[in-house]
Structure 1
C-alpha cells in the first residue's frame, strides 16, 4: 500500500515538474496530424481560408498552372495558421492558409496551466504591482531641493557623475596657406 501511494505521489510530482509539457506536446502533435489529414482530403470550406500574396523577384519567369499542396505553419499576432497550398504566378507567390483554432486553444491552455502551477501572476498588471512592492523596500529615497539659480534639482544617489569640459578652439584671422 505504501509503495503504491509513493509511486502515485512521485508520478504527480514528475507531472508537475515538466510532464504537463509532454502531454501538451502530444496533444498538439495529434491536433496537427488531424488537421493535416483534413487538409489533404480537402475537407475544408474555402471561406475558412486566407490568401497571402507575397512579391517574389526571380531571375527567370516561373508559371504554375494551379496550386500545389504544401505543409507548414506559422503564428501571426497570436493567431496560428496552417499552410494549405501555394502557386507562383508572374512575380507573386500566392499562399493559401487556414486558421488553426485548435492549436491556439492548446497553446493558451498550456500557458495558463504553467502560470497556475508555477504561481506566476496571470496578468502583467499584477506582475508590475508585485515588482513595485519589492523595489519600494530597497530603493533609497531621493530628496528634491529648490536651488535659486537653476530651479528644481534632484540628487540621485549611487550614480556616476560625468563632467564635460568645453572644447576650446582658437580662431586664426589669416587665410589658409596656398598649396
Structure 2
C-alpha cells in the first residue's frame, strides 16, 4: 500500500513538472490533424477563409497568375492559421488561410500554465518580460542567388602510358622440395 501511494504521489509530481507540456502538445497535435482532415475532405466553408498578405522581397521571382494549392501553418500575433493556397508576387505573398482557433486557445492556455509553473521573473504587471520584436520586412527577405558556370578553354592532354613487364622465365625457382601430399 505504501509503495502504491508513493508511486501515485510521484506520478502526480512528474505530471505537474512536465506532464502539462506533453498533454497540451498532444491536444494541439490532435487539433492540427482534425483541421487538416477537414481541409482534405473539403469541409472548410468559404466564409471561414481569410486572405493574409505578407510583405516579402523576391526580386528573382515572376508573379504567379493564380493560387497554388499548398498547405502549411503560420502564426501571426496571437493566432494560428492553416493556409490552403499561396500566391507569390515580387513584393507580397498572399495566403488563403483557415483560422485554427482550437490550437490558439490551447497554446494560450499552455502559456498561462507555464507562467504559473516556471520560476521566470515577471514584470510589475504580472506578465513575462517582452521579447525583442523582429524587423518587419527584413525577416522575410529571400536573397536571389545566380550561378554561372564557365568552361575552361585549355584542356589538359591525357597521356596514357601502359605499365607492363615481360617475365624472362615463367617458372619460379623453389629453395627446396615441395611437401608430400597427405591423404
Question: Do Structure 1 and Structure 2 share a fold, with TM-score over 0.5?
Answer: yes
- Quickly say closer, same or farther: Cα 1:19–1:91, change in 2 above 3 A: closer
Confirm whether residue 113 of structure 1 aligns to residue 113 of structure 2. yes
SS at 2:71 equivalent: coil
More helix by share: 1
Q: Aligned residue pairs: how many?
A: 127
- Quickly say closer, same or farther: Cα 1:124–1:27, change in 2 above 3 A: farther
| Runs of 5+ unmatched residues, structure 2 | 129-183
Instruction: Tell me how far 1:80 sits from its aligned partner.
Output: 1.4
- Quickly say closer, same or farther: Cα 1:3–1:72, change in 2 above 3 A: same
**Aligned-residue RMSD, C-alpha:** 3.1
| Runs of 5+ unmatched residues, structure 1 | 129-179
Partner of 2:101: 101
Higher relative contact order (CA 8 A, sep 6+): 2
* TM-score normalised per structure 1: 0.58
* TM-score normalised per structure 2: 0.57
Mapping of residues 1-179 of structure 1, within 5 Å: 1-53=1-53, 57=58, 59=60, 61=62, 63-64=64-65, 66-88=66-88, 93-118=93-118, 124-126=124-126
SS at 1:68 equivalent: coil
- Quickly say closer, same or farther: Cα 1:78–1:93, change in 2 above 3 A: closer
Greater C-alpha radius of gyration: 2
